[in-house]
Amino acid sequence: STSHRIAVIAGDGIGPEVVAEAEKVLDAVCGPANIALEKTPFPLGAEHWLATGETLPQVTLEKIREHDAILFGAVGAAPGDTRIPSGLIEREILLKLRFSLDHYINLRPSELFPGTVSPLRDPGEVDFVVVREGTEGPYAGNGGVLRQGTDQEIATEVSLNTAHGVQRLVRFAFELASRRERKKLTLVHKHNVLVNAGHLYQRTVNAMAPQYPDVTVDYLHVDAVTIFMTTDPSRFDVLVTDNLFGDIITDLAGAITGGIGLAPCGNINAERTAPSMFEPVHGSAPDIAGQQKANPVATILAAAMMLEHLGHGEQAEQIRSAVRSDLEDHGATQRSTAQIGDAIVAALPA
Ligand code: NAD
Ligand code: IPM
Ligand code: MN
């Protein structure tokens, strides 16, 4: 038997509800395969900060680092909650984890499963992956505020992009595209305006393309991507993009493929110098928290990505096919969070 240490950060809002279902599915699939998951829960998030004043202390980060992978729900308060400064929890917990553990690949697959309802009238076959940069760009925390609160206030967030960061991202995207059936890579940026970072991305893609002669490469400005993602999403295979653009287009990708409650994310440290982290694309959804209204599929699919990363491709595929068959049968049915988790467990191979 194999054993893995999993740090579980359920977080705020619907986080604990969706993580509970993912754990249910993990237990059901790992038990029979003799895969032991030693789970350590870490109480972190907005509620934890309100109760204790701590976000993610260094000692806790070091304990998390000793695990083989992290299963993450969501953190953060309702956007209008005045008790918590917006950005504190997100930066000091989620982004601190991504940056400290060097999660430079933020991997976000989008698939329109049979049985799910897309808001697009005629979406066609949708099956693409966004390879979003995870540790740089405008998220780097580079900037500040001058003369705050005055009419002369100047606020900056300076996007940080390194050749090292862009090269390892683009390398990963080419490798992924070359393993997929359609072998197509779309660079997404805005190099008609962001000429510094944009050209670094474009030059990096151009320089690597000859090493992947079977991969078709193209480029779209990010604003045009929002057009094609709504009018012709089946044109996409692998998209590679910066941190902020990737954030925005993956919420859109979730929406067109049946809802953000279905979209998983892997924060990958591909060199495995620290544990990778698996989570839904969505947030803590304070508007539906505590009501068993959240769809746990995104987190369940993230758990499948985690098993794949840990070397259990067979069990990952079992989860994905159970999700597929459940969506095919009940994709349009109103069900509680736990009912969906139970149905997916029931759809696993006996
Ligand atoms: P959100 O993703 O939490 O919610 C957006 C909308 O999608 C809401 O109407 C919500 O009800 C719905 N939704 C989200 N997940 C769903 C699910 N599983 N099933 C059904 N509906 C779902 O985004 P937001 O409202 O912008 O952010 C809320 C909080 O979450 C903020 O504090 C934000 O910073 C934080 N956030 C955290 C993460 C994370 O921890 N990874 C990600 C995004 C947002
Ligand atoms: C996501 C979230 C985060 C991001 C926030 C909460 C920091 O929106 O995971 O998509 O912007 O990356
Ligand atoms: Mn987001």
Our answer to whether residue 63 is catalytic in this structure is no
The answer, yes or no, to whether any atom of ligand 2 lies below 6 A from the CB of 89, is no
Q: Report the nearest-CA residue for atom 4 of ligand 2.
A: 247
Q: Which of 184, 251, 293, 342 is catalytic?
A: 251
173 burial (CB, 10 Å; 0-12 / 13-18 / 19+) is buried
Taking only the tens place, the pLDDT of each residue in 280-330 is 999 999 999 999 999 999 999 999 999 999 999 999 999 999 999 999 999
> Exactly one of 12, 102, 104, 190 is catalytic; which is it?
190
Cα 282 to ligand 1 centroid, rounded to whole Å: 5
Task: Give the residue, by CA position, lying nearest to ligand 1 atom 12.
Answer: 285
* pLDDT of amino acid 4: 98
> Is 104 a catalytic site residue?
no
Pocket probe mutation, ligand 1, options 117, 244, 284, 336, max atoms within 8 Å of Cβ = 284
- 51-64 confidence digits (pLDDT tens): 999 999 999 999 99
How far apart (Å, rounded) are the C-alpha atoms in residues 87 and 152? 23
Helix/strand/coil for 187: strand
Cβ count within 10 A of residue 339: 15
Give pTM, 2 decimals.
0.98
The complex's ipTM works out to 0.99
Structural domains of the chain in order of their starting residue, each with its CATH number: 1-109+291-350 (3.40.718.10), 118-257 (3.40.718.10)
**What are the DSSP E strand ranges found in the chain?**
2-11, 35-41, 69-74, 105-111, 127-133, 143-146, 154-157, 184-189, 216-221, 238-241, 264-268, 276-280
- Decide: 268 in ligand 2 pocket, CB within 6 A: no
